[in-house]
Structure 1
Amino acid sequence: MTEDEISKIIIGCAIEVHRNLGPGLLESAYQECLCYELKKKGLKLHKEKPLPVIYKDIKLDQGYRIDILVENKVVIELKTVEHFTDVHSAQVLTYLKLGGFKLGLLINFHVSLLKNGIKRFIM
């Protein structure tokens, strides 16, 4: 399955979660529900996947944690914020670069219409 096919499933699942829960909950609630929906679709995922940072001779094992990594291909970063900032975008781009991934989704559940809370990043 390609990254694009996976992302379509992810977005559909995220819309389902948002449709049922609406905005206003903690990020962890959306994360659990999205993982549930993705597993129902038969996708393999890692929640809170550690992403080490390598600096010269040092490997920092707990450098970052990806909210959800789907099929070892697509990074999902979840937010419940008023608006995305440049820092949120930089966070996803950093995960893509450090992990060698091609596609990332930044999903903000704190919006009235979820399609307005999704940003797609391609490396």
Structure 2
Amino acid sequence: MEMDALTREVIAAAYKVHNTLGFGFLEKVYENAMMVELRKRGISAEQQYPVKVYYEEER
């Protein structure tokens, strides 16, 4: 999938989750719903993928 198309699909999935669930849940609820919505759209993703962050030469 082209990057622009992928970006549009991910944003659309986020809107769908937000519009379906509304506000007030813990982040994990939205995270799980987002994974379901991405899978339905044929997009593979990993939850809580570890990312190394370096800030001013510190990790």
Which residue in 2 is equivalent to 1:29?
29
Which residue in 2 is equivalent to 1:51?
51
C-alpha spacing 1:5/1:24, structure 2 compared with 1 (3 Å): same
- What is the identity, as a one-letter code, of the residue corresponding to 2:21? L
RMSD of equivalent CA atoms: 1.6
3-state SS in 2 of match to 1:46 = coil
Structure 1 consecutive aligned stretches of length 4 or more whose deviation exceeds 6 Å: none
Structure with greater helix share of residues: 2
Aligned residues: 55
Question: Which structure ranks higher in relative contact order (CA pairs < 8 Å, sequence separation ≥ 6)?
Answer: 2
TM-score, L = length of structure 2: 0.78
Please state how far the C-alpha of 1:53 moved relative to its aligned partner. 4.8
Please state how far the C-alpha of 1:3 moved relative to its aligned partner. 2.0
Which residue in 2 is equivalent to 1:13?
13
Structure with greater strand share of residues: 1
C-alpha spacing 1:25/1:5, structure 2 compared with 1 (3 Å): same
Residues 56-79 of structure 1 deviation map (CA, whole Å, 9 limit, x = unaligned): xxxxxxx6xxxxxxxxxxxxxxxx
In percent, how many aligned pairs have the same letter?
A: 33
TM-score, L = length of structure 1: 0.41
Q: Which runs of 5+ in 1 are unaligned?
A: 55-62, 64-123
Please say if 1:42 is aligned against 2:42: yes
Residues 36-87 of structure 1 deviation map (CA, whole Å, 9 limit, x = unaligned): 0001111111111112357xxxxxxxx6xxxxxxxxxxxxxxxxxxxxxxxx
Which residue in 1 is equivalent to 2:4?
4
Distance 2:45 2:37 in 1: 11
